[in-house]
Structure 1
Amino acid sequence: MQINENNKIRIKLKTYDYNLLRISCKSIIETIQRTQAEIIGPIPIPTKRRIYCVLRSPHVDKDSREHFEIKIHSKLIDINEPSSQTIDALMKLNIPAGVDLEIKLQ
């Protein structure tokens, strides 16, 4: 796989736990800086909220409801002019469980 200088890698991280996101971003940035690649980020993306409304009792009271919320935190990291060392280091990197990682070559 040949990598041109015009290419860049975009890494998108998503998780429910903000602390895991911070830890994984820190480890990715440290790994990229060791390989002397140019990095942009981490860029925070607005938190998405999902709200679920549930009836407390299934038959009697429709007025009694509970609301549950899930927050999805995400960040974006761009790598300009990646080398083969950068890609190898990213493949060997251990990311904590619970973090969704998307890597795109552009």
Structure 2
Amino acid sequence: MSAPRIRIRLKGFDYRVIDQSAADIVETAKRSGARVAGPVPLPTKIEKFTVNRSVHVNKKSMDQFEVRTHKRLIDIVEPTADTVDELKKLNLPAGVDISINV
């Protein structure tokens, strides 16, 4: 049987907030005595939207907008009960989507 592992995925639009949140999680996990792998930057998803500038004329005149979704992956290998308690107490800023798999 494999060792217990907690896999944390962070997603957000601002990479600075994601990196700061990942650093907080890694520092908290290391302080509680667990081994940490990561944060690993995953590919950035770029969604592009093209819209007309004008409603009636100038079909060739368009604007492009994009939304970038940055992702990070953190593996906590062999977590202790103290690690789980400390991670529960951790406050993450707004704009960070977190998913945890055990």
| Pair in the same fold by TM > 0.5 | yes
Q: How does 1:34-73 map to 2 (within 5 A)?
A: 34-73=31-70
User: Aligned partner of 1:61: which letter?
Assistant: N
Q: TM-score, normalised by structure 1?
A: 0.91
Cα distance, 1:7 vs structure 2: 1.5
Counterpart in 1 of 2:92?
95
Q: Tell me the distance in 2 between the aligned counterparts of 1:87 and 1:75.
A: 19
Q: TM-score, normalised by structure 2?
A: 0.95
List structure 1 runs of 4+ shifted beyond 6 angstroms: none
Gaps of 5+ in 1: none
Percent identity reads: 46
Query: Does residue 1:83 correspond to 2:80, yes or no?
Result: yes
Q: Tell me the distance in 2 between the aligned counterparts of 1:70 and 1:15.
A: 10
Query: Does residue 1:8 correspond to 2:1, yes or no?
Result: no
State how many pairs are aligned.
102
SS for the counterpart of 1:48 is: strand
Gaps of 5+ in 2: none
